[in-house]
Amino acid sequence: MYKLSKTVHKWASLFVGIQLLIWLATGLYFNLMDHEKATGNNNRQHVSQIGNHQDFVFKPIKSLGLPAPKALNLVWILGEPYYQLKYELPAHAEALQDQLVVHAVTGTSFQLTERDALKIAKQSFTGTVTEPIISFVQPPIDNLPKQKTAVWKVQLGDVDNTEVFVNAYTGEVVGHFNDDRRLRDLMFTLHFMDYNNQGSFNNWWIILFGAATFFLSISGLIWLVELVKSQQFKISFHKANKAVQLHYSDNSKTETLILKSNDTVLESLAIKGVFIPSSCGGGGTCGKCKFIANKDASIWPADRQQLSKEELEQGYRLSCQHNVSEFENITLAKQLNAKHIYLTLVSSEFVTPFIKELKFEPTSNAVLNYRAGAYMQFHIPASQYEATFDDVPEGYQSFWKGMASQTLQHDKIVRSYSIVNFDTETHQLTFAVRWQVPVNKIGEVGIGSSYLCSLSLGDTIEATGPFSEFYARPNSLNRRVFIGAGSGMAPLRAIIFEQFNKYDVSNPTLFIFGARTEKDLLYKDQFKKLESTNSSFNYVPVLSQPSSNWQGREGYVQDILEDYINQDDPLTDIEFYLCGPAAMMIEVENKLHLLGIDSVNIFKDDFSRNSK
C-alpha cells in the first residue's frame, strides 16, 4: 500500500500540478484581499428613484389589457412609476427573461433610453466621471455570465475604469465593475476553473482535478504515516550527538564520527562530508542510498520496497529511512572518499575511430585512493562553442566523413566517466571517452563527450569523485570473467590491471571484449602483453564486422559466452564483471541466469552514464 501511495502521489501531483498552486495562490488572495474594494462597489451608492405617488393617477392593473403575470411589482425609475409584470419566477433574478415593464399611468411599454441609462449610472457612482462611453450589450456578457437580458454598459472613464451595467428593461443597476472587481473575478475564474466562463464552479474539470487532488492528499498522508512509523518525525529540543563507528565494506578504514542522533544516516553523514548517493533526496523512492546496518535493524516499508530480500537479510537498509540513534556501527558499501577537485588536461588522443583517451592531472596535490572501476563526475559548465572534428588522425578520418562542425549550447551538466587506470598505476586520471556521434552523421553530437573531447591541453575542469561501486570482490580466489564492449572497456581495464599488477592475484581470469572492427580494439596491445606474461589471464576479442584478415572470434559477446563457461566447473565459483551498452548487458545477464549463475556473482557497471 505504501508503494502504491507513492506512485499515486507522483502521478497525481504531476496531473494536478499547476492548478493546485493556482488554488493555493488564489485562495491566499481571497484571504488577503480587501473585501469591500473587491466587490467593485467602492464608489457605488443607492439613490432612491421613488417619486411622490400622489402626483400620479395610477391606471388600474385590471385594465392594462395585458396577459396575467405570475407576479407584479410597482417599481420607480427616475421618479416615474412602472408596473413590472413577471411571467416567470426563476430562482435567480439574473435569469429572468420573460417580463414586461409598462408605465403605471399611461400603460405604454417602457424602454430605457441611452440618456436615462447614463443618468442612472452616474447617479449610482460617487467618483469622478470624465467621458462616459455607453453601449447596448446583449447576453452573453463577459462580466455577467448569468445575466440573461440585455443591459446598457456605461464606461465612466474614471481612474478605476469602472463600468456600470444597467438593466435595459427595468433600469436596475446590475453591477459595478472596476479594476478591483475584475481582478477578483479573474481569481474566481482561476479558483473555480471556470475557464468556459459559466459563472459557476459546477464543471467537470474542477471535479476531475478535485478528485485527483483528493488522491494526492490521501496518498501523501499515507506516506506521512509511513514516515511517522519509521520514526522520521522525532523532534528533539536538545540536538543530541552520538559517536558512531563508520566502517567501509572493503575494510579500507574505520573512523569514529560524532553524528546527530535524530537525523537520518544520510543527512548526518552528509553534514560530515560523507556523501551517500541519492537521487531522490531522501524520499525512499530511488533506493540508491543503501548502507549496511545490522541484520536485526528495523525494516521500514521503504526498505522493503527498494531492497531485495537478500539485501535485507544481509543487513542493507536505506540511509534516508533510518535515524542515527538506531546504530552504533554503520558500514558503507564502498569507500566514499569522494573529493571535489580540479583536473587539468595533459593529453588527448584518439585511440580508436571514436574513442579519445584523455589524461588529467589533479591541480592540487590531492592523493586519490580508489578501488579500480571507480568513476569521476565531471561538472561541465554551461557553454556555447563550435565543435570541430579537425584533429581526427588520418587513419580514422574515413569514419568521420560527412560530419560537419556544429555549434553546441547547453546548460551546466554533470557527466560520469570511469577511470581507465588504477590508483597506484599513475597519479594521473585516464578516461576513454567515446565521442557520441550520430550514426548517419546527421543530428547533434553528445554534449558531454563533445565538451571533454574538445578540451585543449592545459584546460581545467571541475570534478567530483572518485566514486567506487563497481570493483573486484576483495580477497576472492574465484575464477573471473570480464565481459565488455565499446567504451565499457574503461572500468574493466582498470580492475584487471589492478588485480594483476597491484595485488598480484592468480585468479583464472578471462576478458571477452566486443567491438566492431580491428581498429575498435582499444588497448589490444596491453592485453596481449598481459596475456603473454601472465598465464592466469586470457584475452578474447570478438568482432562484429571484422576484416577478411581477422583470425579471432566473430559475432557478439553474448553469442560466444557459453563456449567459455565449462559446465563441469562449479558455477558458484565464477564471478562475472559486466560493462557495456545496455542491450548487451541485459542479454548477457539473461544468458548468465539461464546458465544458472546467481545474481550475487554478477557485478555490473551501468554503462549508460558514459553514453551521452
> Which residues inside 198-217 make contact with another protein, applying CB under 8 A?
200-203, 206-207, 210-211, 213-214, 216-217
Cα 389 from Cα 247, distance rounded (Å): 47
**Site residues (CB under 8 A) for another protein, limited to 287-306:** 288
Q: Which of 8, 166, 227, 490 binds another protein (CB under 8 A)?
A: 227
Q: Is 279 exposed, middle or buried (0-12, 13-18, 19+ CB in 10 A)?
A: exposed
Query: Can you state the angle between helices 2-32 and 204-229, rounded to 10 degrees?
Result: 120
Binding piece for another protein, criterion CB under 8 A, among 47-55, 302-310, 484-492, 577-585: 47-55
Q: Does the protein bind another protein through residue 232 (CB under 8 A)? A: yes
Which one, of 367, 374, 463, lies nearest residue 413 by Cα?
A: 463
Cα 448 from Cα 463, distance rounded (Å): 13
Cα 216 from Cα 324, distance rounded (Å): 30
**Site residues (CB under 8 A) for another protein, limited to 104-143:** 104
Q: To the nearest whole angstrom, how small is the minimum distance from the Cβ of residue 73 to another protein?
A: 4
**Site residues (CB under 8 A) for another protein, limited to 531-550:** none
Q: To the nearest whole angstrom, how small is the minimum distance from the Cβ of residue 282 to another protein?
A: 5
Q: Which of 74, 78, 159, 586 binds another protein (CB under 8 A)?
A: 74
Binding piece for another protein, criterion CB under 8 A, among 60-68, 239-247, 388-396, 583-591: 60-68
Cα 214 from Cα 208, distance rounded (Å): 10
Binding piece for another protein, criterion CB under 8 A, among 143-151, 281-289, 453-461, 478-486: 281-289
Contact, 327 vs 307, CB < 8 A? no
**Site residues (CB under 8 A) for another protein, limited to 350-379:** 375, 377
Q: Does the protein bind another protein through residue 25 (CB under 8 A)? A: yes
Binding mask 314-353 for another protein (x = CB under 8 A): ------------------------x-x-------------
Q: Which of 40, 69, 301, 446 binds another protein (CB under 8 A)?
A: 69
Q: To the nearest whole angstrom, how small is the minimum distance from the Cβ of residue 15 to another protein?
A: 10
Q: What single-letter DSSP state applies at residue 502?
A: I
- Count the Cβ atoms, other than its own, within 10 Å of residue 212: 20
Q: What's the full length of the chain, in residues?
A: 612
Query: Can you state the angle between helices 489-497 and 524-533, rounded to 10 degrees?
Result: 30
Q: To the nearest whole angstrom, how small is the minimum distance from the Cβ of residue 154 to another protein?
A: 26
Q: To the nearest whole angstrom, how small is the minimum distance from the Cβ of residue 224 to another protein?
A: 6
Contact, 52 vs 24, CB < 8 A? no
Q: Which of 160, 180, 469, 575 binds another protein (CB under 8 A)?
A: 469
Cα 49 from Cα 576, distance rounded (Å): 96
Beta carbons within 8 Å of 540's beta carbon, 6+ residues apart: 510, 511, 512, 513, 552, 553, 560, 564
Residue labelled with grid coordinates 571507480: 374
Q: Does the protein bind another protein through residue 580 (CB under 8 A)? A: no
Binding piece for another protein, criterion CB under 8 A, among 27-35, 150-158, 419-427, 501-509: 27-35
Cα 159 from Cα 179, distance rounded (Å): 9
Which one, of 523, 379, 401, 514, lies nearest residue 451 by Cα?
A: 379
Residue among 140 and 281 whose Cβ is closer to another protein: 281
Residue among 94 and 559 whose Cβ is closer to another protein: 94
Cis ω on the peptide bond leading into residue 491 (within 30° of 0)?
no
Residue among 27 and 474 whose Cβ is closer to another protein: 27
Binding piece for another protein, criterion CB under 8 A, among 7-15, 115-123, 483-491, 593-601: 7-15
Q: To the nearest whole angstrom, how small is the minimum distance from the Cβ of residue 250 to another protein?
A: 18
Q: Which of 39, 344, 609, 611 binds another protein (CB under 8 A)?
A: 609
Residue among 32 and 442 whose Cβ is closer to another protein: 32
Residue among 189 and 406 whose Cβ is closer to another protein: 189
Binding piece for another protein, criterion CB under 8 A, among 32-40, 491-499, 533-541, 556-564: 32-40
Contact, 437 vs 404, CB < 8 A? no
Q: Beta strands 383-387 and 406-410: pairing type?
A: antiparallel
Q: Beta strands 574-580 and 602-606: pairing type?
A: parallel
Q: Does the protein bind another protein through residue 195 (CB under 8 A)? A: no
Torsion of CA 493, 496, 592, 474, to 10 degrees: -130
Q: Does the protein bind another protein through residue 32 (CB under 8 A)? A: yes
Q: Which of 5, 8, 23, 177 binds another protein (CB under 8 A)?
A: 23
Q: Does the protein bind another protein through residue 71 (CB under 8 A)? A: yes
Residue among 71 and 346 whose Cβ is closer to another protein: 71
Cis ω on the peptide bond leading into residue 140 (within 30° of 0)?
yes
Torsion of CA 248, 251, 257, 263, to 10 degrees: 20
Q: Does the protein bind another protein through residue 382 (CB under 8 A)? A: no
- H-only helix segments in 441-561: 447-454, 489-497, 524-533, 557-560
Cα 384 from Cα 381, distance rounded (Å): 10
# chain residues binding another protein, by CB under 8 A: 81
Cα 204 from Cα 210, distance rounded (Å): 10
Q: What cell does 39 get?
A: 466587490
Binding piece for another protein, criterion CB under 8 A, among 69-77, 121-129, 166-174, 546-554: 69-77
Binding piece for another protein, criterion CB under 8 A, among 9-17, 435-443, 545-553, 555-563: 9-17
Q: To the nearest whole angstrom, how small is the minimum distance from the Cβ of residue 58 to another protein?
A: 4
Binding piece for another protein, criterion CB under 8 A, among 53-61, 147-155, 160-168, 545-553: 53-61
Q: To the nearest whole angstrom, how small is the minimum distance from the Cβ of residue 61 to another protein?
A: 5
Binding piece for another protein, criterion CB under 8 A, among 195-203, 425-433, 434-442, 584-592: 195-203
Residue among 206 and 505 whose Cβ is closer to another protein: 206
